Structure 1
């Protein structure tokens, strides 16, 4: 759907220069001389590069709506990750690089949301929180208080996080997958 240059908002996905861009930041500028324009910072959804572009209110840009579909993570296969569409039971394989470092948080049967454009995956959203077991945690330093500092710990998936001193190996904790940090003890 076409929108005017002054209607662009952060979070929009635009078709520009024959590729897809996510709008990161928009600044409306009204110079003393000349017409007003929107200074738009965008990130390429395919290769991650950034672009700063000016759009006047008369400029028309194509706003794209991404389709969101639920998929279930099945298993890793070499450098690929296999997911299944929960409605059609159709399986797709994605490069592990597509998910990035957060691939370490994928668990068998985990539900994820894929953002699709013309049946092509553009982005992936994992659950915000996952429960994982601590495999090793540094010993508490004598005199260290609960509020003073955190200590490093290794999770069962090989990721290191900082945890409070009272957390020990063998305990299950809840981890934020976006920030990759300790949230709380699991019940």
Structure 2
């Protein structure tokens, strides 16, 4: 275990909380008021059962950061509530629970390389590639008078995720989407 100052905790880190359980950090924000003590609010999910917790600590307070190994794996398929990943060199298959994958599940594509954070040989967290290419299946019509630079319209993708896209994007267009917040990045270059 490594000791880390609360201000340095980032999304995706695995920390051991005072209750002895491992938690995956979902969001961490530091707040520095003009007067008073700076604080860090950390939203995290308990790895063992998926319970979400939010803690607020002093920014300089020390937290135990678990040593996790980051290993590339290839996504194979969904098996019931679990997702199956394969180690590219040993061909060992690992089952990851749907609760751990969470709202990232629609972005998983066959043969996609992801990073699994492993603690004592068990997966504790998953990191997807930062961007994924999807196809727009339907969009709303453009409102007359809208300019391309200032407004976006809702669109549905082939993976079932809603994305706000520029007015010139129509159904059938392939676009690149940010996997972290489901935002439109650019038109695909393929």
Name the CA distance, whole Å, in 1 between partners of 2:30 and 2:152.
38
Count of residue pairs the alignment pairs up: 175
Q: How does 1:97-112 map to 2 (within 5 A)?
A: 97-112=99-114
Cα distance, 1:9 vs. partner?
Answer: 4.8
Structure 1 position 118 matched with structure 2 position 120: yes
The TM-score, its normalising length taken from structure 1, stands at 0.79
Q: Which residue of 1 aligns with 2:54?
A: 50
Check whether the contact 2:138–2:171 (CA below 8 A) recurs between aligned residues. Answer: yes
Q: Which residue of 2 aligns with 1:156?
A: 158
Q: Which deviates further from its counterpart, 142-151 or 60-69?
A: 60-69
User: CA RMSD for the aligned pairs?
Assistant: 2.9
Change (3 A) 1:147 1:118: same
Q: Structure 2 residue aligned with 1:130, among 129, 132, 153?
A: 132
Name the CA distance, whole Å, in 2 between partners of 1:56 and 1:168.
49
Q: Which structure has the greater CA radius of gyration?
A: 1
Change (3 A) 1:48 1:139: same
Change (3 A) 1:82 1:143: same
Describe the SS at the equivalent of 1:101. helix
Change (3 A) 1:78 1:117: same
The TM-score, its normalising length taken from structure 2, stands at 0.78
Q: Which residue of 2 aligns with 1:34?
A: none
Q: Which residue of 1 aligns with 2:8?
A: 10
Change (3 A) 1:151 1:2: closer
Q: Structure 2 residue aligned with 1:93, among 92, 95, 98?
A: 95
Name the CA distance, whole Å, in 1 between partners of 2:161 and 2:84.
21
Cα distance, 1:64 vs. partner?
Answer: 2.2
Q: Which residue of 2 aligns with 1:166?
A: 168
In the alignment, structure 1 segments of 5+ residues that lack a partner are: 29-36
